[in-house]
Structure 1
């Protein structure tokens, strides 16, 4: 396995400055946003699509620092009921797939998206309970008429480009659990898998070790985000896990994103990495820093130190004892 970082935490730095920082911290890969939620501070997609020379120069700057690109990330909502947003995010995703193919980046990450509750809805509707039955109606409408047809098309496009899709199972979007992820993959195609982020499993009450087994058996893990979540049981008793308080309200929130090892013990992270390897994922752990009480440098350094303590780099040897 390799250790890398999702680079929006360095969006205030130039591309070259970001690469220098990443290399200086001893990391091996970068996951780079192409627009939408991660921003495009480190990659101008139209410029790179238009010029093979620009792509070669870009990749050379990465290689000169001993790095590689683990994924390109276009986290947006391509099925939004806001047609302007949907078109922009759909175009970005398709451009990102094309660029990944041209630059031989194996994975494009993003969200499944979430639509409106019906054909005339102008706001997103995230149905997560079957009653009142209007929620069930919204659920079936979105899955059958919007989500599955859209991702069938993307699956074909990604397959033709030789690129895998990593859907981040994030709350607020339709594919947010192992079950919904596997349904999307089953309906849309095998180029669709997940960008597994345990932080989103914990706050939904899902054991990420078990989730890795479920998704790993299906060959559905294409990328991995390393981020932790702290669960505050006292606040959970007050607000529940579907806590609408702003992320900044750390003292009262039910859960908060933390740097690796600051929400759950490293023994649990070690179990996750073991299951990743057992089920065939031996690629990149891409650190995502979203810790509200630690600086970028301290939070990233803590994650690096903690992950290095459980990272398996060598391949296992033949079992001489068996």
Structure 2
């Protein structure tokens, strides 16, 4: 396994400076944004696509630092009911898949998106209750008319280019639980998998280790994020899981993100890493830092320090004690 980082953290740094910085921290892999929510500070798709010379320059700079690229990420909402927003995300995804293929990068990360509740809707509608029955009708329409048809087409595109799709299970989007992901994968094929982020499991009341087992049995984990979450139980009792309190009002939120080790201790993270290996994941654990109490440098550094001791670097070739 390799320790990585989602480089959107360092969008203020020049590409070469970012590579120098993360390599010096002991990072082995970088996940790079190509646009959408992560931005494209370190990877301009239109400049690199179909340009062998610029691609070679890009990959050489990464390789010179002893790094690999674990994934290209273009998180957006390609199912947004406002067509210009959806079109921008859709076109970026297609370009990112093609670029990943040309660069030999095996995974493209994104969100599943979330549609509206009818063809003329203006905003996404995220149903989270099975009753009143209106919500069931909305959910059925979304999946049958929008989610499955869209991702079936994109899975075919990914297979054509030999790239895997890592959907981040994230609240506010149609795919946000292991069950959602496996349902979509059943209809669209194995190119669809998870970019599994335990921080989003915790706030939904899902045990990340169990989510790894559920998805791992289906070989459905394509990428893994390392970010922590803390539950503030008094606020949870008041606001519930689907807390709409702004992220900036941390004192009043039911939950908020922390850097690795500041929401759950090292044993919990060791259990997750062990579960990943148990179910065949031997790829990158990519740090994502969204801790409102620490600077980027401090939060990132502590995440590296807390993850290094629990990473499994050498798998057993044979059980010599048997």
What's the TM-score bracket when you normalise by the shorter of the two chains? over 0.9
Alpha-carbon offset, residue 317 of structure 1: 3.9
Alpha-carbon offset, residue 50 of structure 1: 3.8
Q: Equivalents in 1 of 2:155, 2:189: separation in Å? A: 6
Q: Equivalents in 1 of 2:212, 2:111: separation in Å? A: 18
1:5-44: per-residue Cα shift (whole Å, max 9, x none)? 0011101111111111111111001000000000001111
Residue 247 of structure 1 pairs with residue 270 of structure 2: no
- Residue 74 (structure 2) aligns with: 74
Alpha-carbon offset, residue 134 of structure 1: 1.3
- Residue 13 (structure 1) aligns with: 13
Alpha-carbon offset, residue 98 of structure 1: 0.1
Q: Which moved more, 1:100-109 or 1:19-28?
A: 19-28
Aligned residues: CA RMSD: 0.7
Residue 43 of structure 1 pairs with residue 39 of structure 2: no
1:267-310: per-residue Cα shift (whole Å, max 9, x none)? 11111111100111010000001001001111011110110111
- Residue 224 (structure 1) aligns with: 224
Q: How does 1:140-219 map to 2 (within 5 A)?
A: 140-219=140-219
- Residue 307 (structure 1) aligns with: 307
Alpha-carbon offset, residue 312 of structure 1: 0.6
Q: Equivalents in 2 of 1:314, 1:321: separation in Å? A: 17
Secondary structure at 1:309 match in 2: helix
- Residue 273 (structure 2) aligns with: 273
TM-score (norm 2): 0.99
- Count of equivalent residues: 322
- Residue 122 (structure 1) aligns with: 122
1:73-110: per-residue Cα shift (whole Å, max 9, x none)? 01000010010000000000000000000000000000
Q: Equivalents in 1 of 2:317, 2:11: separation in Å? A: 41
Secondary structure at 2:117 match in 1: coil
- Residue 112 (structure 1) aligns with: 112
1:189-243: per-residue Cα shift (whole Å, max 9, x none)? 1100000000000000000000100000010000000000011111101111111
Alpha-carbon offset, residue 320 of structure 1: 2.2
Secondary structure at 2:252 match in 1: coil
Secondary structure at 1:251 match in 2: helix
Q: Which runs of 4+ in 1 moved over 4 A?
A: none
Q: Equivalents in 1 of 2:315, 2:180: separation in Å? A: 32
Q: Equivalents in 1 of 2:38, 2:136: separation in Å? A: 31
Alpha-carbon offset, residue 245 of structure 1: 0.7
- Residue 295 (structure 2) aligns with: 295
Q: How does 1:253-264 map to 2 (within 5 A)?
A: 253-264=253-264
Q: Equivalents in 1 of 2:47, 2:4: separation in Å? A: 25
- Residue 321 (structure 1) aligns with: 321
Q: Equivalents in 2 of 1:188, 1:172: separation in Å? A: 21
Secondary structure at 2:251 match in 1: coil
Alpha-carbon offset, residue 128 of structure 1: 1.4
Query: Which runs of no fewer than 5 residues in structure 1 stay unpaired?
Result: none
Q: Equivalents in 2 of 1:43, 1:303: separation in Å? A: 24
Q: Equivalents in 1 of 2:304, 2:147: separation in Å? A: 36
1:100-133: per-residue Cα shift (whole Å, max 9, x none)? 0000000000000000011121111001111111
Residue 238 of structure 1 pairs with residue 238 of structure 2: yes
- Residue 139 (structure 1) aligns with: 139
TM-score (norm 1): 0.99
